[in-house]
């Protein structure tokens, strides 16, 4: 089975890399978190001390990092991937970053004879663990076809949406929809609670209709249980919406609802909730209404 490099073993990268091991791939891994590296080595991976060292050993290298600056540094910086990349190799960046940065990095890699796909994911930690992520891919058709089997070891849906950068445009569109769905859910459930109606029953009543969504079914049970431990951290969603606004300004696309939800998220982060799940958006509405939905659920229903 093919040898793959994997850089970035965080909340998403670690389970994704474990799924590659389960699928039979040989992994060379790197991360600044040595505990995460040790966990992967114990599962069968081989460690490398720098991104350059990873790149020198593999024909395909995956990066899964927090944001544009980290990806640029790991790929183009001192001791980076570009210093060890082999001609004909492929870098698959599965981070969620600025599409223009994806295009910049791809151009630099092309100068060294290497290709690139941007392939951000959706589904959060649960789907990273069970290997059912949605993967949105930008890049050349040949590179996409050559990497489909690899990507399907981590995701249930793998769709090429265009040339390099298109994957991150699709991911930003996804993040806009998710954020607005969570905000709408939060506003509606707090409204119901403030009006004295059990919000858990409102959820049951509306989930099968037009208002139902995967976001509603994923997040409503968690907010009723007051579970705000991160499946997807609020601060990372802030990063994604910030990138969306930047891209929107660049292409001339107005994003007023995105900007409003971003301000809500930033207010929560300022209150110390940046590491909470993005479902914590509901706490903003609860604070404004002075109502907590968990306290209004009617006993016996």
Q: Which is catalytic among the residues 14, 18, 127, 171?
A: 171
Backbone region of residue 270 per phi and psi (left: phi > 0; alpha: psi in -120 to 50; beta: other values): alpha
SS percent in the chain: helix, strand, coil, step 5: 55, 15, 30
What backbone phi and psi angles, to 5 degrees, belong to 93? Answer: -90, 115
| CA dist., res. 297 & res. 112, Å (int) | 61
Per DSSP, which regions of 184-267 are E strands? none
Retrieve residue 68's tokens.
């544009």
What is the H or E stretch that residue 104 is in? helix 99-110
Retrieve residue 36's tokens.
């995460």
Instruction: Tell me, yes or no, if 152 is annotated catalytic.
Output: no
- Pick from 121, 95, 118, 240: which is nearest to 167 by CA? 118
DSSP 1: -
- For residue 39, the tally of other CB atoms under 10 A from its CB is 17
Could you tell me how many helices (H) and strands (E) the chain has, helices first?
14, 9
> Would you please indicate which residues are annotated as catalytic (active-site) residues?
171
């Amino acid at each position: 089975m093919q040898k793959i490099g994997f850089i970035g073993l965080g909340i998403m990268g670690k389970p994704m890399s474990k799924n590659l091991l389960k699928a039979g791939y040989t992994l060379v891994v790197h991360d600044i978190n040595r505990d995460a590296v040790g966990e992967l080595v114990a599962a069968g991976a081989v460690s490398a001390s720098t991104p350059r060292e990873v790149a020198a050993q593999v024909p395909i290298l995956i990066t899964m990092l927090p944001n544009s600056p980290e990806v640029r540094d790991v790929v183009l910086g001192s001791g980076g991937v570009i210093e060890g990349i082999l001609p004909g190799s492929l870098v698959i960046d599965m981070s969620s970053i600025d599409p223009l940065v994806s295009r910049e990095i791809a151009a630099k890699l092309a100068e060294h004879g290497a290709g690139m796909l941007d392939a951000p994911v959706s589904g959060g930690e649960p789907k990273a663990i069970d290997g059912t992520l949605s993967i949105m891919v930008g890049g050349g058709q040949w590179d996409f076809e050559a990497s489909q089997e690899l990507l399907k070891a981590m995701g249930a849906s793998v769709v090429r949406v265009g040339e390099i950068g298109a994957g991150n445009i699709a991911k930003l569109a996804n993040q806009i929809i998710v954020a607005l769905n969570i905000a709408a859910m939060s506003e509606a459930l707090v409204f119901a609670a403030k009006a004295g109606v059990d919000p858990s029953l409102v959820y049951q009543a509306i989930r099968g209709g037009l208002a139902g969504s995967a976001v509603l079914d994923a997040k409503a049970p968690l907010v009723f249980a007051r579970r705000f431990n991160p499946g997807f951290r609020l601060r990372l969603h802030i990063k994604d919406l910030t990138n969306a606004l930047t891209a929107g300004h660049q292409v001339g696309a107005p994003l007023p609802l995105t900007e409003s939800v971003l301000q809500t998220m930033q207010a929560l982060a300022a209150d110390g909730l940046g590491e909470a799940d993005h479902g914590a958006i509901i706490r903003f509405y609860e604070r404004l209404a002075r109502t907590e939905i968990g306290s209004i659920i009617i006993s016996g229903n």
